[in-house]
Amino acid sequence: MTFKKILVATDFSDCSLGAVKEAGELARKLGGEIILCTSLEAPEETTLLGGSIKPLIDFPKETADAEKKLRQLIEDAGISDVAKSVRVTPHAPGEEVPELAEKLKCDLIVVGTHGRTGWRHFVIGSVTERIIRKTEIPVLAIPCK
């Protein structure tokens, strides 16, 4: 199996920066390219009554800001030689990343993982787990260092 087209999902955390750098090294070694993506989905705020609300987002402005941050991340991670494009998705990364990877015919998905366990994992869940469950494309999960 060759990994020539690699989709790297980021939330701009330190953990995902490490994954971006690792993906860059992998792409160089394999002669591949990276597509860097992020999600704009607003986190749901849980109310005391158990319901949830989503804050309003100005998607055109947020998309432009996110694209700028992705391009800066490419520079900061030193992967401009292998990073070919950036994508911003409007939905939950656990749903959107697998769909985007399939649409773009990617060979590999790379994500950073925070390694949450216990109560935090139960409440917040794992984006990495959702991505793995939603795709047949191999997923490389890079743990936070």
Give the model confidence (pLDDT) of 13-67 as tens digits: 888 889 999 999 999 999 999 999 999 875 555 445 555 555 556 778 888 999 9
Q: Give the pLDDT score at 13.
A: 86
**Tokens encoding 89:** 């998705």
Q: Give the pLDDT score at 2.
A: 85
Q: Give the pLDDT score at 14.
A: 84
How far apart CA 38 and CA 99 sit, in angstroms, is: 13
Domains (ranges, CATH) in the chain? 5-40+58-143 (3.40.50.620)
Question: Hey, is 132 helix, strand or coil?
Answer: helix
**For residues 118-140, average pLDDT:** 76
Q: Give the pLDDT score at 109.
A: 97
Mean pLDDT across the chain? 84
**For residues 130-134, average pLDDT:** 91
Question: Hey, is 98 helix, strand or coil?
Answer: helix
Q: Give the pLDDT score at 59.
A: 74
Matching residue, tokens 């999960």: 141
**Tokens encoding 15:** 């953990």
Give the residue, 51 or 137, on which the prediction is more confident.
137
